[in-house]
Copies of this chain bind each other. A is one copy, B any other.
Amino acid sequence: MKLSDGVEWALHVTTLVAFVPADQAVPAARLAEYHGVPAAYLAKHLQALSRAGILEAVPGPHGGYRLARPAAEVTVLDVVEAIDGTESAFVCTEIRQRGPAAGPPSDYRVPCGIHRVMNRADRAWRDSLRAVTIAEIAEGVVATSPAHRIEAGARWMEEVLR
């Protein structure tokens, strides 16, 4: 089981964009540069984040991307689902209805117990990711990084938004 690679990138870029002042935007090419990823790779993830209402594309010469709503209203789950979807990692193919001892569909009205246990775990995973916002992730970056790293990031942002 593996989340798509885009999830890691999307979480980092959304956290970075949380530091952009509300009336400004960062061009896609600079977002790619900041994390050392190819611009083409990032384009489709930025589009997915925009479709999900997490980022907003601002057109024009000073255009780019910014948050579509406050970082405190974007959960980690929102970003993960924008990239990886909302489907459970477990797919039930109703194995119990196969084979020589199986019966007609009417014998299987109660959902499969294995399916229910797997779904409950999926909900626990999503609940855990829903409990943390991008604002909290961004605060954590500031709280745990050496001062000179924060300054380097701020200088980069200042130059990009000039």
A8: B residues at CB distance < 8 A? 90-93, 95, 114
Stretch from A46-54, A55-63, A64-72, A115-123 forming part of the interface with B: A115-123
Shortest CB distance A140–B (Å): 4
Majority SS at the chain A contact face: helix
**Chain A interface extent, by class:** 35 or more
CA distance A149 to B90 in the complex (A): 25
Q: Which of B1, B93, B153 contacts A89 (CB 8 A)?
A: B1
> With A124-B128, A137-B113, A146-B107 in contact, do A96 and B12 touch (Cβ < 8 Å)?
yes
- A113 lies within 8 A of B144 (CB): yes
Residues of chain A in range 10-44 having any CB-CB distance to chain B below 8 Å: 11-12, 15, 33-37
For A90, list chain B residues within 8 Å (CB).
Answer: 3, 7-8
